[in-house]
Amino acid sequence: MANLETALKETMAIEGALGVALVDYSSGLALGTLGATNELDLNVAAAGNTDVVRAKMRTLEMLNLHNETIEDILISLTSQYHLIRPLTHHTSKGIFIYLVLDRQRSNLALARHQIRRIEEHLEI
């Protein structure tokens, strides 16, 4: 099982990764971050994307989609992908991985696969 620091490092090893945060979406606080740039404040992004996750969770509830689980939420920007993956393991409920990828240097399908693998081994 990987701990928080190991998971952040493994996520940053994904081709094209610019930054990653593990975020508690009940509070909006980043539990850990790695790799920010001058243009990317991961703590601000963590708080802002908490609203995205909460809104989608509420929508699933309103639609009575109780048997469905969000695998990931993708936000495509001109030069970046922002990938949000709510964790589903019972020890990490209420937490999501937020990954920012350089659109030119990353393979989105491979990044999704790798982040899924990282989630499986993460223990919080």
What is the structure's pLDDT at 105? Answer: 96
Domains, the chain: 4-121 (3.30.450.30)
| Each residue's pLDDT tens digit, 4-58 | 899 999 999 999 999 999 999 889 999 999 996 777 899 999 999 999 999 999 9
43-48-53-56 Cα dihedral, nearest 10 degrees: -170
Q: Say whether 97 sits in a helix, a strand or coil.
A: strand
Instruction: Report residue 118: phi and psi, to 5°.
Output: -60, -40
The more confident residue out of 89 and 121 is: 121
| Each residue's pLDDT tens digit, 87-111 | 987 566 789 999 999 999 999 999 9
